Structure 1
Amino acid sequence: MLSREADLVELVDDHGTVTGSATVLDAHESPGLLHRAFSVFLREESGRVLLQQRAAAKTRFPLRWGNTCCGHPRPGEDLTTAAGKRLAEELGVEPVPFTEVGVYVYFAEDPVTGRVEREYDHVLLGAVPAGLEFRPDPAEVARLRWITVDDLLRDVQAAPEAYAPWLGGVTERLASHLLAAPEGPGGR
């Protein structure tokens, strides 16, 4: 796994307006710098979403369950382009079309590594095409599993220590979108 700690992220204010840039490392050192991120959910036709257990080598929240993939666009980079790259890097799949379903702004400190997350997190939803085969990078992903959104919300509440701290918030954004969406690929 190549280290992305020297890559640049886009710093933003509380409204998502760009204020500058910093390295991934600097943005995640306490007390943290608010920066743009994305959380991807891939959803199959039955409505289940794909989760990944983060690899042990992750610098923030290793071995916790998270959404399908997540990351940071580089300054000026399109969110969906960046998300498509992360899908390829982490899960070995081609990009899919995404719909942005909300934004979740949060702060979390990793008790194991001491790193922090202070993110303006765009929640992206993509439909899984039939026959898609995942080839997870073991340096990024320990395991994969499918779960319904309702079961995920219950599980995160029952055992928050097993999940990445942003997962509850981004899943709530997804659930709200699905309740409001008409039937179809992005709806219930």
Structure 2
Amino acid sequence: MATNALTLKAVLFDRDGTLVVDVPYNGDPQKVEPYPGARRVLEGLRNLGLATGVLSNQSGIARGLLTADQVDSVNARVEELLGPFDVWEVCPHGAGDGCPCRKPAPGMIHSACRRLGIDPSEAAFVGDIGSDIEAAAAAGARGILVPTPQTRAEEVDAAPEVAADLEQAVALLFRDPVLQGPA
């Protein structure tokens, strides 16, 4: 079952490149820079009573490039700038670790939905790369790609839904023929 505005209970987001400017392996909270409009979009979702969450691959931990404490401090800064999230999921594993949580695996989406008490079909996941959208599909959630200049063309081509920015991504979630009524 596809997530639509009638069944939507949570909107989950990738962190780097989606909510905040991607600074590779960032362990410095002072380098956190939200994308324009991110706070407004999140406040709008919260005002509608929807849960929000952040799901982030952080392989820098496995690689020894940053610590879990540094990631936590960056995440705290994200919350300070963008408001509170109902759920956070962080995968500290590397690409070759074979864990079930690292996107494109669906583990973080499944865990977030479990913690929120919802089915993945009641969630949407917004991200900036193909593995985000693949994770959403694998979990049974709706996935929307918001490409950045780093997003590969084949990832854009493969995404079922693509938005220019966060505002457009959320607008897509509520653009549902069932809600529009007769013409």
The TM-score with structure 1 as length reference comes to: 0.28
1 or 2, which has the higher strand percentage? 1
Q: Higher helix proportion, which one?
A: 2
Query: How does the TM-score come out when normalised to structure 2?
Result: 0.29
